Structure 1
């Protein structure tokens, strides 16, 4: 099955100049843990997760009503083309320990794929389960 058939197509984005509070409010209203950050239409610039907000800002006492997304988002992106297979997506998610994968076509974000999207598909050798196992394993012990 292709990524295009599994991805969420209606994805809300924010811009780099929005505040962390605006991002948190949008996450709460949509009941999601990630907001893609896009500029110039749907050109993906980064990803902001609920963990980014808490660990990089709130835990350090940053005023989230003033702090801009640009300073706290994860700019290093791993994405996938909508024509790739679910198995390839699972492999990428496992390799990079990602729970969500932006779907990009010709430089524009066209959707997002989550590990949950993969779990409803019967893909070879249970790649979704493998990916989740790899994602959930810390890259190094957290002591």
Structure 2
């Protein structure tokens, strides 16, 4: 059985909690992502998504100079590098998340995304089921909130 360390993306674009929302937006645009791990040194302290920036930043009328810390999520779901891919997929489905930070002793080691699993054809049906569940959840959120 494959583990996360064999499948995860190891080279992560990260940002500091004290960097600005404008800095985060530029990194997201340059790297075509809507997700950035927030680190202090190598320690993962949160994540920020494009959705966080809109729902927590723009909705509060924060400016681009506001810090990432003001909008980041710090209640994180993570997985260890030796976890199985099946464990990660199950966790992603149950928590309704598309990306899962891989952490060991508080240090960010990589990111596993549903896309990584699908591209590598690892547990494709489970990844598809998780994605379907997440998409349904997001549709309900946008419809009812």
Aligned equivalents of 2:86, 2:129: Cα separation in 1 = 11
Q: How does 1:83-122 map to 2 (within 5 A)?
A: 83-119=82-118, 120-122=120-122
**Distance in structure 2 (CA, Å) of the matches to 1:106 and 1:134:** 30
Report deviation, 1:136.
Answer: 1.4
> What is the alpha-carbon distance in structure 1 between the residues aligned to residue 80 and residue 121 of structure 2?
18
What's 1:45 paired with?
45
Structure 2 residue matching 1:137: 3-state secondary structure: helix
Could you list the runs of 5+ residues in structure 1 that have no partner in the other structure?
none
Between the aligned partners of 1:130 and 1:22, the Cα distance in structure 2 is 34
User: Per-residue CA shift, 1:60-92, capped at 9, x if unaligned?
Assistant: 43211x211111001110000111111111101
For 2:101 and 2:116, the matched residues in 1 are separated by 13
Q: Quote the residue 1:21 is aligned against.
A: 22
Which residue number corresponds to residue 7 of structure 2?
6
Q: TM-score, normalised to structure 1's length? A: 0.91
Q: Which runs of 5+ in 2 are unaligned?
A: none
Alpha-carbon distance in structure 2 between the residues aligned to 1:48 and 1:116: 18
Give the RMSD, CA atoms, in angstroms: 1.6
TM-score, reference length from structure 2? 0.90
